[in-house]
Structure 1
């Protein structure tokens, strides 16, 4: 499942028996293609960084397609497609920036941000400089975003026709039939073939390790002696790889909603753990809707809300809303409530309206949006390539079938949808790497900051604990009994105070600290907010 933090109690696996990969499948390679990590790619990264430092980045007006106006400026940086061959084919990454707004004496360099994915861009991140939660940080730092390799205009990757990728309506059975499984297996095989055909030999170079190396080249191109970086969601994983490979180049790093970096969990077992955690977060949403039954009339208990949801699913299966919203589109829209509780009023209102005979709010929120097909397909292609390339995956369908069938008995909400998203990795045609054993010795890395919500489903809390264990001297800030995915710069003033104190002054608690949860959403808060600002609802 793609883990992207929105700008601005998780259950463990317990006694559930899941398949553990004990040996790599045929074709798996070491992170550097069999060479020592200190050899070919390390040398190539140093060469590329030296070249980027000399060239710098020429910033100017952003291309029209970026939709970014002044004071945001844009530029590019070249990186090797293959770090073992730094003089070979180069690819161009797009970069955006807003200069620090404070006096030059207060400037602390560039803050580079990545929101996750794999497959997400932070090109729009410099616009955060105008938000109240970021203004103090933006006085001291140039706010820098970029599109990682494969994403948007940065050597874009594609695996299928975008129109086919967003075709609707679709089904989304929580307990799929044998015939449906066979259909999805065929689709996964075709998708993997499409990635190999369209990308060719370049496909193998879309990896988390190369994302970390690209970050080192970007640091050099920005003219920074050391890197200040904030990664959210998947951005924490390749940020942790960067800290492992280049600890002396780190100034300050923030890991917001941390992926579990244990090599045995990258990526198959992390996705299973994620599917289990989504069940708890789905329950949180239903409990909140039940609490506000006077507003939504979907049920006074979580179980009654679930039955209302099933009524909507069944009706959409029989007759898709607007001809475009079937159970698959409904599920995709509702998945957002597990990531961010600020979606709760919007989605509950749409379900309520549909059951009262008005499908328009649901159509507006769940139907594929015209003009977004290319971006959606591109993001999914990068996600798939990176996760499939990064690590061994089971190649026997029976392993997937057994693990996900067992898991769906206790966590039906997201299990099979997540499995279908990742199934192309079972049939991948590029070599798979062995994941790096993330970690640093005490004193090798400056103090880093980890932010985590205790009930986060996309990156379960255990990942933050594991990352803190591996990055010696790191400090963990926990938002207790909350589940928003990506909490830095959000709506918890306590979390933001720790973030600001760290980035501006390098100050942290000794080892761990906690924040009370942010308030639950008001059932009419989004309507009121949109009316006050005279803006349309954001989906």
Structure 2
């Protein structure tokens, strides 16, 4: 999820003014009537849950079905699409005392973010210790949002063309390289328009929020209990604004900044700045474990090791598939999740010591057809939703000025973030004006916001802004930590607040803090590991 909030270091950046907003507008009363009609239909039809076809790995107890929603809520009797839904019934058994019955509290619907991520696997979380008490009281429900997976899948190009290797990833691109990427962005935007046709404009966050209300009705729930992570917090906030009376409880995990002025161009500028700090966190951790990885005993020396690997990969890709672009993508994940730190440091150390296998295993692009198709599909939905949601600059000179300025202080992610979003400059569907997320006192039940203080993908300012806009909401902060999404993880303090809220409706004071989780344990040194393997 690339949409995030401004990190404090970005405060001094002067951002070029956006172009005038194209037509699109705010949600209409016609669309609201369409939601009411679709929800009434869904409540009557329900969801015929059964075996999860095409998902052989689904364990016993997981059921699947579909819910029908309008493609265009302004025309609810027009074309309709089906969203794939998964569910595990509440066990209604206390995991601490299997003989004690627990009252069922309804369905808990989860979205993992993206845009473009599938939540179909969420019901399996009920088998994990951190989720068992919640899974006892709630049906755990996941789904594939519109465009994702089997839910009216969106595609913008052939998957074999989408997944390319090896690729460069210059931190200070030349003018000729920028022109190459502009041409690619134009071709990609054109491909989205040609493949989706008139349907393209309907892949939006507002429609994701409307779909969520139809899903609520289809599940037979008078009010929605929802947990959204990352981007899921944004359209969850849209839902809270559009349907406050339909909300029972909502958890916003790794909340993104819902300020309309930030969606989505400025959020992405800000995220590029934020990742630089998180990249430094990772390198500081590697330096503290120089006895294990031998990549350098300061963050600067670790950076030099990384740059040495980049140069070597540019000259000769590892395994014929991993170039600087694949290296950067693999290490970007270390900015999202600190449990990825040991594997990334190990792979880099092994590569520089002559063993490319760990790096190739981490960073090589997927080749299997189904996996490549899933990657392309997720990218298409991400692009369509963000491009449709809001105005974007249509002149590359604006992008160039803003990101050249940011790259001087934050080179790690900046230009790759540009290339991921640049199709929005040449988008061929109408753009909307973002909804002003805001609820007044008493309009919305109290909601729970979770945030890691050093989250790079959704920096902390976004959680503060979300709390300011959702009246009565409560913020729980994981101090001095940066993992993107903290519910259900190893932090018992965080999980205790989530359980108290979901199971009892109990919230802490307006703001509460949890100590950081422990840092990851370093993996073994590649040379020592290889020596053991030979012995």
Contact 1:3-1:116 within 8 A present in 2 as well: no
CA distance in 2, matches of 1:287, 1:10: 19
Q: How does 1:81-96 map to 2 (within 5 A)?
A: 81-96=71-86
Q: What corresponds to 1:409 in structure 2?
A: 408
Q: CA deviation at 1:22?
A: 6.6
CA distance in 1, matches of 2:142, 2:218: 13
Out of 56, 64, 69, the residue aligned to residue 79 of structure 1 is: 69
CA distance in 1, matches of 2:86, 2:379: 22
Q: CA deviation at 1:68?
A: 1.4
Q: How does 1:37-52 map to 2 (within 5 A)?
A: 37=28, 39-52=29-42
Contact 1:277-1:460 within 8 A present in 2 as well: yes
Out of 228, 231, 249, the residue aligned to residue 231 of structure 1 is: 228
Report whether the alignment pairs 1:446 with 2:451. no
Contact 2:230-2:256 within 8 A present in 1 as well: yes
Q: CA deviation at 1:18?
A: 1.1
CA distance in 2, matches of 1:488, 1:480: 14
Q: What corresponds to 2:97 in structure 1?
A: none
Report whether the alignment pairs 1:399 with 2:434. no
Against the structure 1 CA distance between its residues 105 and 301, is the aligned structure 2 distance closer, same or farther, given a 3 Å change threshold?
closer
Instruction: For residues 109-135 of structure 1, give each alpha carbon's deviation from its aligned partner in whole angstroms, at most 9, with x where no partner exists.
Output: 000000000000100000000000000
Q: How does 1:43-192 map to 2 (within 5 A)?
A: 43-65=33-55, 67-102=57-92, 106-192=103-189
- Gaps of at least 5 residues in structure 1 are 528-539
CA distance in 2, matches of 1:126, 1:367: 29
Contact 1:169-1:320 within 8 A present in 2 as well: yes
Q: What corresponds to 1:282 in structure 2?
A: 279
Report whether the alignment pairs 1:376 with 2:378. no
Out of 312, 316, 340, the residue aligned to residue 313 of structure 2 is: 316
Q: Which TM-score applies when normalising by structure 2?
A: 0.95
Q: How does 1:217-256 map to 2 (within 5 A)?
A: 217-256=214-253
Report whether the alignment pairs 1:347 with 2:337. no
Structure 1 range deviating more: 510-519 or 15-24: 15-24
Instruction: For residues 455-504 of structure 1, give each alpha carbon's deviation from its aligned partner in whole angstroms, at most 9, with x where no partner exists.
Output: 00001100000000000000000001110000011111110000110000
Contact 2:19-2:392 within 8 A present in 1 as well: no
Q: What corresponds to 2:425 in structure 1?
A: 426
Q: CA deviation at 1:343?
A: 0.2
Q: What corresponds to 1:291 in structure 2?
A: 288
Contact 1:11-1:280 within 8 A present in 2 as well: no
Q: Once superposed, which parts of structure 1, at least 4 consecutive aligned residues long, lie more than 6 Å away? A: none
Secondary structure, aligned partner of 2:168: coil
Instruction: For residues 157-204 of structure 1, give each alpha carbon's deviation from its aligned partner in whole angstroms, at most 9, with x where no partner exists.
Output: 000110111110000000000000000000000000000000000000
Secondary structure, aligned partner of 1:413: coil
Q: CA deviation at 1:70?
A: 1.5
Contact 2:116-2:381 within 8 A present in 1 as well: yes
Instruction: For residues 127-146 of structure 1, give each alpha carbon's deviation from its aligned partner in whole angstroms, at most 9, with x where no partner exists.
Output: 00000000000000000000
Instruction: For residues 381-408 of structure 1, give each alpha carbon's deviation from its aligned partner in whole angstroms, at most 9, with x where no partner exists.
Output: 0000000000000001100000000000
Instruction: For residues 417-452 of structure 1, give each alpha carbon's deviation from its aligned partner in whole angstroms, at most 9, with x where no partner exists.
Output: 000000000000000000000010011000000000
Secondary structure, aligned partner of 2:222: coil
Q: CA deviation at 1:359?
A: 0.2
Out of 270, 273, 277, the residue aligned to residue 270 of structure 2 is: 273
Secondary structure, aligned partner of 1:45: helix
Contact 2:407-2:415 within 8 A present in 1 as well: yes
Secondary structure, aligned partner of 1:497: helix
Contact 1:392-1:432 within 8 A present in 2 as well: yes
CA distance in 1, matches of 2:366, 2:50: 31
Secondary structure, aligned partner of 2:11: coil
Q: CA deviation at 1:370?
A: 2.4
Q: What corresponds to 1:488 in structure 2?
A: 487
Structure 1 range deviating more: 338-347 or 368-377: 368-377
CA distance in 2, matches of 1:150, 1:208: 12
Task: Say how many residue pairs are matched.
Answer: 516
Report whether the alignment pairs 1:516 with 2:515. yes
**Aligned-pair RMSD on alpha carbons?**
1.5
- Gaps of at least 5 residues in structure 2 are 94-100, 527-535
Against the structure 1 CA distance between its residues 403 and 74, is the aligned structure 2 distance closer, same or farther, given a 3 Å change threshold?
same
Q: CA deviation at 1:13?
A: 1.5
